[in-house]
Structure 1
Amino acid sequence: MQLAAASGLMSLFLFIVAVGVLALLAGGFYMTSRVRYRESPRPRPEEQPTMPPGGPVHEVRESNREASEVPRTAKGERPLTPYELTNMDTRPGTTESKDRPRWSNGSSGSFGGGGLGAH
């Protein structure tokens, strides 16, 4: 019965916990304001980036790129590991057409889209 009875000590403990939580929240707001004060100011409108004199920059069309050949190992040598195949460069494709392959008409081009894909 005594444990279930209201205690002034329990009320005091809950009040101290509530004050502690409020102090943590106030400290968080204070720390946030200090960090914002140290940040550099936002750029003014005249400091914003401007468009280049030649107008907007457009995409450069290049022929499709082809991967370099994978180096071959001589018979009897150990195979190359993936770590030895880093920095595999690409080169411009040999095809003269600069058109990218497109999906056929009427096809979504997605896997399982029902179309035949690029042909």
Structure 2
Amino acid sequence: MDAILTDIAWFLVVGIAVAGFLIGMFWLGRRVRDKEPEPPTAESQPHLPNGGAVHEVREEREPVEIPEPGLRPHDMQGYGNFGSTRAHDQEEVRRRKEREQGQSGGFGSGGPSS
């Protein structure tokens, strides 16, 4: 009978300790949360510009030959650009597209067969 009462007492002690630990953690979390700043209001959020949404810009770039031994750090212009330059004459880009159309007739590409 003493063994059963001892087991019940240990069960109660451990249960009370776990419950006290959980209550303490909730209390600590509440204190930390009270010190945090308030959530932002709707007025403080970013708004669309007066002109509406900003759209992406597509532009053609002139190809640049990559040297055989590979690029040296001073050859690169920006991160991963490999020295490419912006196409200055959009008419030239349009002519190049017309000239290159129909020359890539690989299987399944929809181009003319050769």
TM-score under structure 2 normalisation? 0.57
**Equivalent in 78, 81, 87 of residue 89 of structure 1:** 81
Aligned residue number for residue 25 of structure 2: 28
Q: Partners in 2 of 1:61 and 1:93 — Cα distance? A: 11
Q: Give yes or no for contact 1:64–1:93 (8 Å, CA) kept in 2.
A: yes
CA RMSD for the aligned pairs? 3.7
Aligned residue number for residue 51 of structure 1: 48
Aligned residue number for residue 100 of structure 2: none
Q: Partners in 2 of 1:46 and 1:61 — Cα distance? A: 33
Q: Higher relative contact order by CA 8 Å / sep ≥ 6: 1 or 2? A: 1
CA gap 1:116/1:47 in 2 versus in 1, 3 angstroms: same
2:24 aligned partner, one-letter code: G
Shift, 1:20, TM fit = 0.9
**Structure 1 runs (4+) greater than 6 angstroms displaced:** none
Q: Partners in 1 of 2:64 and 2:39 — Cα distance? A: 44
Shift, 1:45, TM fit = 2.0
Which has more helix, going by share of residues? 2
Paired residues, what number?
A: 89
Within the alignment, does 1:61 sit opposite 2:53 as a pair? no
Q: Partners in 2 of 1:46 and 1:20 — Cα distance? A: 46
Shift, 1:56, TM fit = 0.7
Within the alignment, does 1:116 sit opposite 2:113 as a pair? no
Shift, 1:24, TM fit = 1.4
Secondary structure of the 1:7 match is: helix
Secondary structure of the 1:34 match is: helix
2:51 aligned partner, one-letter code: G
Gaps of 5+ in 2: 72-78, 98-106
Q: Partners in 2 of 1:67 and 1:29 — Cα distance? A: 61
